[in-house]
Amino acid sequence: GGGVVGDLAGFVAATLLRGITFVQVPSTLLSMVDSSVGGKVAVNVNTGKNMVGAFYQPKLVYSNLNYLQTLPPKEWICGLAEMVKHSFLTENESIYASLVESAKSLQQNENKSAPFSWLEPNELAARIRESVSVKAAIVAEDETEQGIRATLNLGHTTAHAIESLQHYTGMTHGEAVSRGLVTALYLSKNIGLSDQEFESMIELMHTLGLPLDTAGFEADQLFEHTKFDKKNQLGQIRFVLLKKRGQPVWGQPITISEFRQAWALQKKRFG
């Protein structure tokens, strides 16, 4: 199944009899490149996303790309948002460059309804493998999220607030993450992200058809819901930002005025 199925099965496996063996068989792009990797298993509660869970590694992850051909366009977008996030985090320039090149082929392809679904199997497998390698390397360094693993939450502070406001219905996780990435990029300009890199990353997201707009939400209502985020400390709202592509900063305190400014810029440009 997808991320929800994998998270629920993993959470049950982690708690039943204090832990039983389980295998992840991801059948969506998001679960292949993100949720099946790293051992985070959790369920949502009324106060927020993934608030009850554990770190519990699967015995095996089996990804069959044939499953991807059954996906509707929204599910491709969902997974692509996490792939883009990984390409922003890695210092490996070739991973970002290869994703950009694959994305460019979308502009010449007639089937724009399901981005990446037209790629040759070997090319698709390569992009998935590269994305997984970014997350796997970070998890290997910090399995229980005491430090650098927190960078995998890039874009997720805003995304989780959006999902919570929608009661986890309507917008997919990836659609929320995409919008959250844009917010994070605007906030990152305050700590040194250059205009050139900002525009390059925005262009990649736009080419892939990822949603960049504010979806009608107001800054204050979102910021209020970020107060439940797990990364917060000492009453401060903390974001993952980028000094530059490949140089993430985690635990960056953000004020309501900074968030309002970033959200206003996002709304002005993308709606």
Distances (CA, A) of 204 to 41, 85, 86, 97, 210: 30, 11, 13, 10, 9
| 173 is annotated as an active-site residue | yes
Catalytic residue among 49, 86, 127, 149: 149
Strand, helix or coil for residue 53: strand
| 82 is annotated as an active-site residue | yes
| 156 is annotated as an active-site residue | yes
| 206 is annotated as an active-site residue | no
Catalytic residue among 85, 127, 173, 231: 173
How far apart CA 193 and CA 60 sit, in angstroms, is 38
| 86 is annotated as an active-site residue | no
| 18 is annotated as an active-site residue | yes
Catalytic residue among 49, 127, 153, 238: 153
Distances (CA, A) of 185 to 17, 99, 131: 43, 18, 20
For residues 96 and 87, the answer to whether their CB atoms sit within 8 Å is yes
How far apart CA 259 and CA 153 sit, in angstroms, is 17
| 225 is annotated as an active-site residue | no
Catalytic residue among 18, 66, 122, 268: 18
The b/e string for 135-156 (b: 16+ C-beta within 10 A; e otherwise) is: beebbeeeeebeeebbbbbbbb
For residues 99 and 200, the answer to whether their CB atoms sit within 8 Å is no
Q: How many other CB atoms are there within 10 angstroms of residue 57's CB atom?
A: 17
For residues 262 and 226, the answer to whether their CB atoms sit within 8 Å is no
| 243 is annotated as an active-site residue | no
Catalytic residue among 135, 179, 238, 245: 135
Catalytic residue among 40, 86, 179, 225: 40
Structure-block tokens of residue 102: 């694959």
Structure-block tokens of residue 36: 């099946």
Catalytic residue among 85, 86, 127, 156: 156
Catalytic residue among 75, 130, 145, 163: 145
Catalytic residue among 82, 130, 175, 197: 82
State the catalytic residues: 18, 40, 82, 135, 145, 149, 153, 156, 160, 173
